[in-house]
Amino acid sequence: MIRTSKFIFRAACAAVSVLTAVVGYYYAALPVNLNTDGDTVFCSGGFSAAVLRPTDGGCAYYLGAVPIKEAEITQTERPQLIPCGTPFGIKVRSDGVMVVSVNNSSPAAESGIKQGDVITSVNGVDVTTNDEISEAVQLSDGSAEVILTRGESELCLSVPTETSGDGTLKIGAWVRDSAAGIGTMTWYDPSTGYFGGLGHAVSDVTTGQCVPLAGGEITDAIISGVVRGKKGEAGELCGSFVSGGKTGTLTANTEVGVFGTLESPVSGEAIPMAFRQEVECGKATILATTDENEPREYEIEIERINLLDMTGSKSMVIKITDPELIEETGGIVRGMSGSPIIQNGRLIGAVTHVLINDPTRGYAVFAESMMEELSQQ
């Protein structure tokens, strides 16, 4: 009898510990501030086991009958966006010159310059291109005065120079001043003329860091072929820029996408954007272009809402279920980033990353996160 009582007591303690841990997890992860246009459907789909229920003072999260925390609801106008799914060429000019590598034992390395630093000035001269930094170094008298940014910090370093084989001065760092590639446009806002695309930042190919934007443009692009993805190897949409000049201007390069304005408006029917709490695990579709033809709609499954990345580029885990798309591409491939995701007649987000070990699965960003980021630019 005593043993049975101890077992029951221990089981009860374990259950309370598990419940406390789960409630603590949801308390930390669930967003406090939510937007609505006054017609929000409160459902559990977007928050896994946590249910968002209306209360007398607003709304609150519940885990079964256990209250977790209150949420603050803001009344706002629901954006009406045209989903795109079209490929576009991206050309980014960096704000400063990014250090992509530093030679060992070079003056740059010994002075503390690191990969990923962004050099903005040399010897009092602002630099934004490789040629400008090279010319500014030639003004050195034994050392170059270098101003750079590292994260949120700005550093000023005195870097000795050395003479290369052709007689020019150098500091021993390799730099890059621009980036280019092909992505997918997610949406166009006919009320403002702005577009959003890619779903993640344009990053330096070597450092993986977001390229600080000094300027940029977009062009039309055409998809000419597909390298299918397979386990352990990411596939890719093969394409090229279409001649004829720029079709838009980039104004922001952020962790949840690129944004800018277009030379001409996009035609198509605008649909309502979904707020985060309206996104559900389950069936959805994406718009993607995999050849020279127009975007097509493909079936996917939203498997999980990532509660710890509600405002980032990995807010949802998705799975490609459409047999036709799997046959064409193997799943998610490079170049599909930005493909809009539609559920229940609403634009809910965009494809962002592929899982290398399973190309049918990947991540997505909320459309609301993209719109919020644009509003802060």
Tokens of 276: 């985060």
CA atoms within 13 A on the CB side of 255: 11
- The total of other beta-carbon atoms located within 10 Å of residue 292's CB is 10
- Active-site residue among 315, 337, 339, 369? 337
Any catalytic annotation for residue 322?
yes
Contact 255, 313 (CB under 8 A): yes
d(CA 269, CA 266): 10
Quick check: is 353 catalytic?
no
Catalytic residue, chosen from 178, 313, 322, 339, is 322
Question: Interior CA angle at 250 toward 254 and 368, to 5°?
Answer: 45
Tokens 């501030």, residue located: 33
Q: In sequence order, which ranges of the chain are alpha helices (DSSP H)? A: 2-29, 107-111, 130-137, 323-329, 367-375
Other CB atoms within 10 Å distance of the CB of residue 308 = 10
Half-sphere exposure of 6 (CA within 13 A, CB side): 3
Give Cα 183 distance to the centre of its chain.
12
Task: Pull the structure tokens for residue 177.
Answer: 């001043």
Separation CA 236–CA 229 (nearest Å): 7
Looking at residue 267, the DSSP 8-state letter turns out to be P
Active site residue 134: no
> Half-sphere exposure (CA, 13 Å, Cβ side) for 226?
18
DSSP state for residue 9 in the 8-state scheme: H
Burial class of residue 245 (count of CB atoms within 10 Å of its CB; 0-12, 13-18, 19+): exposed
- Among 135, 142, 139, 151, residue whose Cα is nearest residue 107: 142
Beta bridge partners of 90: 181, 218
Active site residues: 200, 322, 337
